[in-house]
Amino acid sequence: MIRMEASFQWAWLIPALPLLSFLIIGFITKKWPKLSSTISIAAILTSFVLAVWVDFGVFASGVGAELVEKPYQHVVNWLTFSGVPWGLSAAPLNIEFGTLIDPLSAMMLFVVTLVASLVQIYSVGYMHGDKGYSRYFAYQSLFAMSMLGLVLSTNLLQLFIFWELVGLCSYLLIGFWFFKPSAREAAKKAFMTTRVGDFGLLLGILFLLNKFGTLNFVQLFHMMTPEVKAMVAVGGVSYLTLTAFLVFIGPIGKSGQFPLHVWLPDAMEGPTPVSALIHAATMVVAGVYLIARIYFLFQGASPAALEFVASLGGFTAIFAASIAIAQNDIKRILAYSTLSQLGYMVMALGVGSLTAGMFHLMTHAFFKALMFLGAGSVIHALHEKQDIWEMGGLWKKMRITGTTFAIGVLAIAGVPPLAGFFSKDEILSAALHNGHPVLFGIGLFTAMLTAFYMTRLFVIAFMGPEKAENHPHESPWVMTLPLVILAFFSIVGGWAGIPEHGFAYFVRPWGSEFEPEAMNWLVAGPSIIVGLAGIILSYIVYYGKASDPVEAAFPRVYKVLKNKYYVDEFYLWIIKHIVDGIGKVLYWFDIYIVDGIVDGLAWIARSLGSLFRRAQTGQLQVYAIIFFVALIVLFLAVTYGEGQLHALNPLALGGGK
């Protein structure tokens, strides 16, 4: 029996409090904006404190390692299906709701509550005076609830439910300024694109549930016996491999992997703090978290599954980074950088290092939230200007924003001893050690690109020539305080990986042995070098320039990159011509063929009616003749045709007596 910390049984409050806040704001305090934001922030801060309490239980009291073997679970029955035995478990089919605590979920609780709290505090300043202020905080609370519920899920269906609610919340928040057509379209796009991924995930869930009769993570984990691993689905593909692929389609949509990445850059149409939340701590990391949560499935599948995950992640990383170079919108650059970093995390999971992937998720959450909030601070100061070429000289006017942003840039560029350095190093060494030299190379090159475009952003926006029409000023303390806190974590966040019993000791796949690894300077050395090279190169290219020199040098390549390889255009074409086209054709078919037949039948009935109407002449003589003739026919039939009339008996038609 596992030692249980008192805090664990209160973990359900962590998502419940933001939910309560959502309900209170939605039904009661909507009319009082200040009260609404206070309630929302109080709720999320309490959740944060609870999360820290839980984390103490997990990491400080020594049960952490036990929890990797035997996670703490607390469940209640939620949905009963007919109670018939189903699948391998042969237990009556039902779905539970509950909380699962192991180091992985505990780490996520901390990251999510921390970032969500800071984003909400920041929003008090950023959203000040907005018409939908209360609604904004209601959505924020709902968002936090959904993500925290997802993190604590004990089974795949519970996770899927919160997963979809996370999707709903980002839909609501991306489209928060619904009067803007661009925001409206972006919200729709986010929902639609992730929905395509959800289709795969849902199929995966159905396949798992039908086979195993349970979706509980721990139970599934224990069912991964060699016999189960050997089960074949179709065409020699093992059942687990097929399922793993299907489940992975979900994260492709949610975590913006190619080719379902298109929604994420548009998602910045929402208020900037929302982008920070979506890009750092919620929504997009849900996909990565899902893979980590159900990692045993990928381990049980054939190596091709993880190989695919790794390759797609690596491709997304370099693909998105190359686009980021040619963007001019400050939020768009950050958005593509998120895509690229998500690719990094997925690649890490794919090359077999859950630890590295989750480590990067954590550090990325800190510095990406920092940079998005920093960008928000800049946009706020410049009255909604987002083009970096219209900025410049902000460094002198916005010292706190500038300094913290610089920390973010250095962190993502992998400069030691900042957070990004440690997690990126873990990913690269995992790639190299587990036999993926190509992915290692891609990772290294992407690291350089990352340093390059992030420095480009900083050099142009903060160090470029000052614009006379801009009158920037530093943001109020509610906005700068979160920046400072996040900057602090962006510096020290990576140090969690240093001690012997650090990050890797706790956050690792269930049932795996902990293998301490020393810093590998053969990996870290090149990684530092490419990072610095990217920074220096970018500084040389962009410092003091008023327009993009790269665009002038390589106009064609630049155009392709600027237009994001035309993927969006391609999708639009498909939707407009193929999907809508089919709709129109089928509609035509429905009106003119299906309905045409129905109307045709009606027409025949009407015509027959008007034909027979002629028989109703009203002339007695005609009726008399018909009557007389019919009488003769009947008489003859009865006299000579006895027996045949049985054929008209309705019972005989039915086949009986």
The per-type count for the chain, helices as H runs and strands as E runs, is 31, 2
Closer CB to other proteins, 540 or 604, in the complex: 604
Instruction: Work out how close the CB of 135 gets to other proteins at its nearest, in angstroms, rounded to a whole number.
Output: 9
Instruction: Work out how close the CB of 64 gets to other proteins at its nearest, in angstroms, rounded to a whole number.
Output: 31
Instruction: Work out how close the CB of 171 gets to other proteins at its nearest, in angstroms, rounded to a whole number.
Output: 8
Closer CB to other proteins, 246 or 448, in the complex: 246
Closer CB to other proteins, 647 or 651, in the complex: 651
Closer CB to other proteins, 194 or 377, in the complex: 194
Instruction: Work out how close the CB of 217 gets to other proteins at its nearest, in angstroms, rounded to a whole number.
Output: 18
- Contact between 219 and 89 under an 8 Å Cβ cutoff? The reply is yes
Place of tokens 């439910």: 161
CA distances from 563 to 11, 108, 316, 547, 598 (A): 45, 35, 16, 18, 50
Place of tokens 């590295």: 356
Instruction: Work out how close the CB of 164 gets to other proteins at its nearest, in angstroms, rounded to a whole number.
Output: 4
Torsion of CA 542, 546, 552, 553, to 10 degrees: -20
Closer CB to other proteins, 66 or 185, in the complex: 185
Question: Helix (H, G, I), strand (E, B), or coil: what is residue 12?
Answer: coil
Instruction: Work out how close the CB of 387 gets to other proteins at its nearest, in angstroms, rounded to a whole number.
Output: 23
> Which alpha helices (DSSP H) does 56-155 contain, by range?
64-69, 103-126, 133-151
Instruction: Work out how close the CB of 293 gets to other proteins at its nearest, in angstroms, rounded to a whole number.
Output: 17
Instruction: Work out how close the CB of 619 gets to other proteins at its nearest, in angstroms, rounded to a whole number.
Output: 32
Residue 546 DSSP symbol: S
Closer CB to other proteins, 552 or 586, in the complex: 586
Sign (positive/negative) of CA torsion 537, 455, 465, 556? positive
Closer CB to other proteins, 206 or 304, in the complex: 206
Closer CB to other proteins, 51 or 215, in the complex: 215
Sign (positive/negative) of CA torsion 278, 284, 288, 291? positive
| Helices 133-151, 156-174: inter-axial angle, 10-degree rounding | 160
Please give the residue ranges that form the binding site for other proteins (CB under 8 A): 77-84, 86-87, 93, 157, 160-162, 164-165, 168, 175, 178-181, 184-185, 187-188, 191-192, 195-196, 198-199, 202-203, 206-207, 209-211, 233-234, 239, 579-580, 582-584, 586-587, 590, 594-595, 598, 602, 650-651, 654-656
Residue 475 DSSP symbol: P
Closer CB to other proteins, 91 or 168, in the complex: 168
Strand partners, 101: 72
Question: Helix (H, G, I), strand (E, B), or coil: what is residue 132?
Answer: coil
Chain-centroid distance, C-alpha 460 = 31
Closest CA to 341 of 322, 360, 327: 360
Closer CB to other proteins, 162 or 366, in the complex: 162
Instruction: Work out how close the CB of 297 gets to other proteins at its nearest, in angstroms, rounded to a whole number.
Output: 16
Instruction: Work out how close the CB of 604 gets to other proteins at its nearest, in angstroms, rounded to a whole number.
Output: 13
Closer CB to other proteins, 6 or 651, in the complex: 651
Interatomic CA distance for residues 220 and 209, integer angstroms? 10
Instruction: Find the helix or strand (DSSP H, E) in which 78 lies.
Output: strand 72-86
Residue 99 DSSP symbol: E
Within a 10 A sphere around the Cβ of 378, how many other Cβ atoms?
25
Closer CB to other proteins, 171 or 366, in the complex: 171
Place of tokens 């209640």: 76
Within a 10 A sphere around the Cβ of 174, how many other Cβ atoms?
29
Instruction: Work out how close the CB of 534 gets to other proteins at its nearest, in angstroms, rounded to a whole number.
Output: 40
Instruction: Find the helix or strand (DSSP H, E) in which 96 lies.
Output: strand 91-101
Closer CB to other proteins, 69 or 590, in the complex: 590
Instruction: Work out how close the CB of 653 gets to other proteins at its nearest, in angstroms, rounded to a whole number.
Output: 9
The set of residues, in sequence order, having a beta carbon less than 8 Å from that of 514 and lying 6+ positions away, is: 65, 504, 505, 508
Instruction: Work out how close the CB of 644 gets to other proteins at its nearest, in angstroms, rounded to a whole number.
Output: 22
The set of residues, in sequence order, having a beta carbon less than 8 Å from that of 457 and lying 6+ positions away, is: 330, 333, 334, 388, 409
Closer CB to other proteins, 237 or 533, in the complex: 237
Instruction: Work out how close the CB of 94 gets to other proteins at its nearest, in angstroms, rounded to a whole number.
Output: 9
| Whether residue 273 has a cis bond before it, omega within 30° of 0 | no
130, two tokens: 């907005």
- Contact between 75 and 154 under an 8 Å Cβ cutoff? The reply is yes
Q: How many residues does the chain have?
A: 657
Closest CA to 147 of 116, 121, 124: 116
